[in-house]
Structure 1
Amino acid sequence: MDAELERTLAAIGPRLRALRRDRALTLAELSAMTGISVSGLSRLESGRRRPTLELLIPLARAHRVALDQLIGAPPTGDPRVHLKPLRHPRGMLVPLTQYPGRLQVFKQVIAPRPRRLVTHEGYEWLFVLAGELVLVLGDRELTLRPGEIAEFDTAEPHWFGPPGDGSAEILHIFGRHGDRARVRARPDA
């Protein structure tokens, strides 16, 4: 076996462990999701068991990642990302990530729409790229301009959209409750 293949295989175990821990899953919980025994998962994560497709496919499904990402496949040499815009009732939506259950990032062009406050579980960040965005949080109304960011708990009644007949272009980040950004450094006051 060549050295590059050996390094790729050796990196799978730590990657599996990191994915499981990032999702706050126990070996027993992951075992129930995949049908792989707890001892088998432990041996995979520690590198004492060689990964096979029969083991990696259910793990990729459980972690909701592509098999390429799970095994750390070498890049193909083409750095282009071919995004597929989706029509949405609120405008155009371009998913930038595809990890259900984790942080989701979208580039969104929001068309005018009626104000209707909603609530749901989660946490959101909005970064305005172009245009203006009105954000209603409970009793408060804020107007965000290009370069401005808002973050909020979606359990609070909220609505956002352009103020008039125009549109707003934003980066929209949504995560499970608790996926809040962690500020590592703050500027001096």
Structure 2
Amino acid sequence: MTDLDDQAVADAVGRRLRTIRTQRRITLAELEQRTGVSMSTWSRLESGQRRATIELLLPLAREYGVTLDELVGAPETGDPRVHIKPVVRHGTTYIPLTRRAGGLQAFKVIFPPRREPVAERLMTHEGYEWLYVLSGRLRLTLGERTIVMEPGEAAEFDTRVPHSLGADGPGAVEVISLFGRQGERAHLRARST
């Protein structure tokens, strides 16, 4: 690495540290009080005028409750595992199975049991979706048509068509969903033996 590369990395780390601190609404004075490191040291670190050292990063990681990698925005190390962070929206759990935003996305989706009939809210958006039912009974509404899908069944559809998804009955439903905003279609090929 050249001196210019080193400075660019120091600047990027400093910007990241400032962003993390301001998101937590902590002032430099409060950080000095909590860590015992001077306010001017933190200011120079955030502005890229001082290099990050392990002695400075460890108290920050402890204070912010993050790993050192998260603190400095370290690149992926080639670990192929996807670190799952489920998101729950309106009772439905979405578990991302791919790492990057954009392009084709894969999710495991868990729909809660349907306790009583509810008015379905149809939605539309850009993209194309492919789904596969793992367990339970999935109710898929596409426009005026409603289909109940069983485990082992798959469907694909243009998400510009008004649609809704949910459990059909008292049990939860688990689905694998592939979604592409660009309207990509899933292409399945079976090899003959």
Normalized against structure 2, the TM-score is what?
0.53
Deviation for aligned residue 1:80: 5.2
Q: What number of residue pairs does the alignment pair up?
A: 124
What is the match of residue 109 of structure 1? 110
Match 1:153 to one of 143, 152, 158:
158
Aligned pair in 2 of structure 1 residues 151, 101: CA closer, same or farther (>3 Å)?
same
1:89-168 matches, within 5 Å, as 89-111=90-112, 112=114, 114-168=119-173
Aligned pair in 2 of structure 1 residues 85, 157: CA closer, same or farther (>3 Å)?
same
Counterpart contact for 2:142–2:163, Cα < 8 Å: yes
Which secondary structure state, in structure 1, belongs to the residue aligned with residue 121 of structure 2? coil
Counterpart contact for 2:127–2:179, Cα < 8 Å: yes
Aligned pair in 2 of structure 1 residues 127, 141: CA closer, same or farther (>3 Å)?
same
Are residue 171 (structure 1) and residue 172 (structure 2) matched?
no
Structure 2, gaps ≥5 residues long: 13-72
Aligned pair in 2 of structure 1 residues 187, 110: CA closer, same or farther (>3 Å)?
same
- The farther-off stretch of 158-167 and 127-136 is 158-167
CA-based RMSD of the aligned residues comes to: 3.1
Which secondary structure state, in structure 1, belongs to the residue aligned with residue 130 of structure 2? strand
Deviating above 3 A after TM superposition, structure 1's stretches of 4 or more consecutive aligned residues are 52-55, 66-69, 79-82, 185-188
Which secondary structure state, in structure 2, belongs to the residue aligned with residue 106 of structure 1? strand
Deviation for aligned residue 1:67: 6.9
Normalized against structure 1, the TM-score is what?
0.54
Counterpart contact for 1:123–1:176, Cα < 8 Å: yes
